[in-house]
Structure 1
Amino acid sequence: MKKKLAALLAMSLLATGALTACGGSETPAEDSTADQTQTEGTEANTSAEGGTLRMGTNATFPPYETVDENNNVVGIDADIAKAVADKLGKELEIVNMEFDSLIPALGADQIDIVLAGMTVTPERQEQVDFTESYATGIQSIIVPEDSAIATVEDLADKTVGVQTGTTGDIYCTGDLGEEHVQRFESGVVATQALVNGQIDAVVIDNEPAKAYVEANQGLKILDTEYAVEDYAAAVKKGNTELLDQVNSALEELKADGTIDEIIANYIHE
């Protein structure tokens, strides 16, 4: 629901939405095939007619979505959405907003679809309809290099930073309790709080975790996984026509290798 600058520069850019790419460098604009109409916040073109597919995202999640030097949203999800829009004969419009505003925006018809590294959960399934999964994610734990935290169990009495509304937020709140969770508007801000010693760890998806650790000396990602989860696109509850169309497009894009190729452009094993 992810983009080598010095730590201070990276954080100042990221906090304003110009996020660095996986590995800590800015995602090159040429890596994105998404010719887009960009819209900030929730003031999207609310017309559901015509040839536009309005994708909502939170572009603080490298390499799935980030903002490049031209203020365009680029990344895995942007490229997949562009490929889906092409299959549907539509123009892609990307609406960048806070992560916890995405589902309400779907319900208010401000956007048509969400691609934001969003994990399928029972709670979210009550609010939106999910497509078939197009990628797998891992929730990872970031800690200082000299931290005594080595396992998930070691988080029990610690203060853990999460991005508001993400599965990291959901998991940690359920497992550790509200008193041990501190919420932030983005993984960037949560990581800066860790660097500043305000919290003991950050739980966030593995790919952006790599970028944040690369951009900040003195941090590491634990070998242990907090959780493994599936990413899917979301549409408004009950919009079966669009759900079926997107699922058909995703099936074709999986079958012809397009999705694997897009992911490989950003994530190098």
Structure 2
Amino acid sequence: MKKSALFGMGILAAGMVTACGNGGDGEDEQETLTMGTSADYPPFEYIETGESDEIVGFDVDLAEAITDELGYDLEIQDMEFGGLIPALNSNRVDFVMAGMRPTEERRENVDFSDIYFESNHTIVTKEEFGIEEAEDLEGGTLGVQLGSIQEGQAEELGEEVPDLEVETRDRIPELVQEIINDRFDAAIIADTVAYEYIEREDGLKGFDLPNQAEEDGNAIAFPQDSELTEEFNEVLDDMKESGELDDLIIKWFDEMEIDEDDVSDEGGEGYDGEDEDDADDEEADE
């Protein structure tokens, strides 16, 4: 299937320092907002390695549409998921879009927009492992992304499944690679993202995480008391009413096929499985 044309945008290198939009001074210059994301989460956000190495995806198109409507330029800063809320609270980014759910714990530190997308969670494993339900993970190793809502779900599952070890990684491709390399028995990943990887990688399968509560879905994170929250919500409301948001959902979740060769697996391929003392462990938005 064809990919629709993407909005143009500038991409910041992870180490580049930029002034956030809410701190701009020039009246004649269009302000720039910096979006924080973790570009390892197709089709929400990922690095397309074919020609441009751009960060593309559903969240990127949505962010571009909202900021364009509000009269802002958009820049994107890619980082590990666990560092997104710390970056928001230290004013390194103006807002975060990364398939993030507005949990009560996160609401203690940041504000959220209205929900713009809903999904559930999937346990991804290898077909050859013979794992058909959560109870089959007894004595096994379950992977989750550091700082994600799935980390809490894995801990809860660990209380129900005997001898289940839970390990974290910074990036989704790392979780998938650990399963492929037989280091993890399974991983919990949001369903939309999980099935993108299952389609790309031979020998993987997935099944629903049991006893899932009604999830709120994905929302945009802002610093507390940011004026951007209301501005973004107004545009989201208009996009829902006009059908523009539905058009983006159809584009990325019904019509799009992600070519395996076009997706960067940075952090996953060649991962040696050794434990790391990562400062982000202390900063993860739990």
Query: Normalization by structure 1: what TM-score?
Result: 0.83
**Matching of residue 249 in structure 1 with residue 235 in structure 2:** yes
Deviations 1:32-69 (A, max 9, x none): 22x21101225341243151121110010000001113
Aligned residue for 2:175?
A: 190
Query: Normalization by structure 2: what TM-score?
Result: 0.78
Give matches, 1:100-249, under 5 Å. 100-176=82-158, 180-223=165-208, 227=212, 229=215, 230-239=217-226, 241-249=227-235
Instruction: Work out which of the residue numbers 96, 100, 110 in structure 1 matches 2:78.
Output: 96
Q: How far apart, CA to CA, are the structure 2 residues paired with 1:88 and 1:268?
A: 28
- Quote the offset at 1:176 in angstroms: 1.1
- Higher Cα radius of gyration: 2
Q: How far apart, CA to CA, are the structure 1 residues paired with 2:13 and 2:138?
A: 38
Aligned partner of residue 261 in structure 1, secondary structure: helix
Aligned residue for 2:245?
A: 259
Give RMSD over aligned pairs: 2.2
AA matched with 1:96:
D
- Quote the offset at 1:74 in angstroms: 0.6
Aligned residue for 2:258?
A: none
AA matched with 2:219:
A
Q: How far apart, CA to CA, are the structure 1 residues paired with 2:107 and 2:70?
A: 24
Q: How far apart, CA to CA, are the structure 2 residues paired with 1:106 and 1:167?
A: 18
AA matched with 1:245:
E
Given that 2:138 and 2:164 are in contact with CA atoms closer than 8 Å, whether structure 1 keeps it comes out as: no
Change (3 A) 1:117 1:44: farther
Q: How far apart, CA to CA, are the structure 1 residues paired with 2:83 and 2:176?
A: 21
- Aligned residue pairs: how many? 241
Q: How far apart, CA to CA, are the structure 2 residues paired with 1:31 and 1:161?
A: 35
Aligned partner of residue 199 in structure 2, secondary structure: helix
Runs of 4+ displaced beyond 6 Å = none
Change (3 A) 1:174 1:85: same
- Quote the offset at 1:87 in angstroms: 1.6
**Matching of residue 32 in structure 1 with residue 3 in structure 2:** no
Gaps of 5+ in 1: 1-24
Change (3 A) 1:32 1:153: farther
AA matched with 2:233:
N
Given that 1:140 and 1:226 are in contact with CA atoms closer than 8 Å, whether structure 2 keeps it comes out as: no
